[in-house]
Amino acid sequence: MLNETILKSALPEAIAARVSSLLVKPDAVTAVLDGTGLDGKGRADLEAGAKQALEAVEGVSEARIAVMAERVDRRFIAIGSGKGGVGKSTLTANLAVALKRMGHNVGVVDADIYGPSQPTLLASEKEKPEAVEQTLQPVRGVMGIPMLSMGHLIAPGKAIAWRGPMAAGALTQLVEADWGDADIILMDLPPGTGDVQLTMVQKHKPQGAIIVSTPQDLALIDAARAGQLFETAGVPVIGLVENMAGYACPHCGEVSDPFGQGGVEKIAERLELPFLGRIPLTMAIREASDKGTPPAADDGDAGAAFTAIAAQLSDWLRQGQAA
Ligand SMILES: Nc1ncnc2c1ncn2[C@@H]1O[C@H](COP(=O)(O)OP(=O)(O)OP(=O)(O)O)[C@@H](O)[C@H]1O
């Protein structure tokens, strides 16, 4: 006589551990499995494995499997800048790595569709995302961080020259991918404050935003504009980050300020927004970024500034404000 114990013992251990219920009905066996933490492929494999094992049991003509997963309360955090080339992508990659090291389930959407650099920064250039039932499955970057970028979907070196609606459509696919149990998704926005950015922010409504700027006056004007963009869209600004602040000469050790100093902190004060910290301009950061080894992945000096900013983001995520 078939019963739950017999059926469960026919399942491989990893599948048996996920059984929520197993019922023997006259026409079929029905199993409900817990798919929490698995991505689309993992859930499909779980379902197929259970079905095959149960239908191999004598007396079972059909096994119906349902894989359920706990709803993940997912938050998107946008990293934006008013101006290009100020280090938005570098900050995003390092914040992701630092948050991961702090125990967060973090993912990265490279929404910088015109210049996607996350595949290089997080060493996933060769990966190609698959789609399961038309939903993209993120690839894995450094430290297993789930991530998606247009850079994964287009041929390397190919420029993307899309108009707003097409760009927004492509980005939706990245945002609405199967993020599994990742509950914090960092979104590397395209630089600037045009229509594309505003549409993206309004459509995908991040829970908070970080603005990056270098300390020079021109960048600061644009950073203030980025603040207005988020305000218009009703997205709270978590704080401002100053990048490329102070350069220590690798030969003589003298510190100079090619882009000025302290400007971002001043503008944060003026806009009444938190200042999250300063990242120095160093060869180590540039070299590590090009190699796909984000400095925040280890305890070296180059990563410390990123880790300190990630700690504030982590506090904001826990309490709703930066420490
Ligand atoms: N603190 C830093 N020290 C040294 N180099 C840096 C630093 N921050 C960024 N860089 C370098 O500056 C360049 C631009 O950085 P990044 O791509 O992160 O900027 P971005 O704002 O995302 O640019 P884009 O406009 O392309 O989106 C990269 O080569 C990066 O390695």
Q: What is the pLDDT of residues 148-198, one digit of tens each?
A: 998 888 766 666 666 666 677 788 889 999 998 898 999 999 888 887 788
- Ligand 1 centre distance from Cα of residue 253 (Å): 22
The CA distance from 179 to 148, in Å, is 10
> Do both 158 and 107 map to the same domain?
yes
Which tokens in the block code for residue 30?
Answer: 């029905």
Choosing from 40, 68, 96, the residue where a domain stops is: 68
Which tokens in the block code for residue 25?
Answer: 């009905």
Q: Which residues are annotated as a binding site?
A: 82-89
150 contacts 158 by C-beta, under 8 angstroms: no
> Do both 44 and 176 map to the same domain?
no
pLDDT tens per residue across span 126-154? 998 988 878 899 999 999 999 999 888 87
Task: Using DSSP bridges, classify how beta strands 237-248 and 135-136 pair: parallel, antiparallel or unpaired.
Answer: unpaired
> Do both 206 and 57 map to the same domain?
no
- Ligand 1 centre distance from Cα of residue 281 (Å): 10
Best residue among 83, 89, 255 to mutate for probing ligand 1, ranked by most atoms within 8 Å of CB: 89
> Do both 244 and 283 map to the same domain?
yes
Q: Is the CB of 279 under 6 A from ligand 1?
A: yes
Nearest atom in ligand 1 to the alpha carbon of residue 279 is: 1
CATH of the domain at 159: 3.40.50.300
> Do both 260 and 116 map to the same domain?
yes
pLDDT at residue 321, as a whole number: 54
Kindly list the distances between the CA atom of residue 71 and the CA atoms of 26, 34, 131, 316, in Å, as whole numbers in the listed order: 32, 12, 20, 22
β-pair partners for 188: 79, 110
Best residue among 90, 92, 283 to mutate for probing ligand 1, ranked by most atoms within 8 Å of CB: 90
> Do both 312 and 255 map to the same domain?
yes
Cα radius of gyration (the chain): 23
Q: Is the CB of 88 under 6 A from ligand 1?
A: yes
Q: Helix/strand/coil (H, E, C) string of 72-118?
A: CCCEEEEEECCCCCCCHHHHHHHHHHHHHHCCCCEEEEECCCCCCCH
> Do both 13 and 140 map to the same domain?
no
- Ligand 1 centre distance from Cα of residue 106 (Å): 21
> Do both 114 and 213 map to the same domain?
yes
Nearest atom in ligand 1 to the alpha carbon of residue 280 is: 1
Q: Which residue has the tokens 């650099």?
A: 117
Which of 19-28, 97-106, 240-249 is modeled with the greatest confidence? 97-106
> How many structural domains are present in the chain?
2
- Ligand 1 centre distance from Cα of residue 90 (Å): 6
Question: What is the average pLDDT across 201-214?
Answer: 92
What is the helix (H) or strand (E) element at residue 151, kind and residue range? helix 150-153
Q: Is the CB of 223 under 6 A from ligand 1?
A: no
Nearest atom in ligand 1 to the alpha carbon of residue 283 is: 4
> Do both 90 and 152 map to the same domain?
yes
Question: What is the average pLDDT across 98-115?
Answer: 92
Question: What is the average pLDDT across 294-311?
Answer: 92
Q: Is the CB of 260 under 6 A from ligand 1?
A: no
CATH of the domain at 16: 3.30.300.130
DSSP string computed for 159-228: -----HHHHHHHHHHHHTS--TT--EEEEEPPSS-SHHHHHHHHHH--SEEEEEE-SSHHHHHHHHHHHH
> Do both 33 and 108 map to the same domain?
no
Range of the domain at 173: 75-319
Q: Which residue has the tokens 């003589």?
A: 252
The region, left, alpha or beta by phi > 0 then psi within -120 to 50, assigned to residue 135 is beta
pLDDT at residue 156, as a whole number: 65
Nearest atom in ligand 1 to the alpha carbon of residue 212 is: 21
Choosing from 23, 38, 68, the residue where a domain stops is: 68
pLDDT tens per residue across span 8-53? 999 999 999 999 999 988 889 999 999 988 878 888 899 999 999 9
Q: Whose CA is nearest to atom 30 of ligand 1?
A: 286
Task: Using DSSP bridges, classify how beta strands 29-34 and 146-149 pair: parallel, antiparallel or unpaired.
Answer: unpaired
Question: What is the average pLDDT across 215-244?
Answer: 89
> Do both 90 and 58 map to the same domain?
no
> Do both 181 and 103 map to the same domain?
yes
pLDDT at residue 99, as a whole number: 97
Q: Is the CB of 86 under 6 A from ligand 1?
A: yes
pLDDT higher for 204 or 93? 93
β-pair partners for 68: 34
The CA distance from 122 to 293, in Å, is 7
The CA distance from 49 to 46, in Å, is 5
Choosing from 30, 47, 68, the residue where a domain stops is: 68
Q: Is the CB of 90 under 6 A from ligand 1?
A: yes
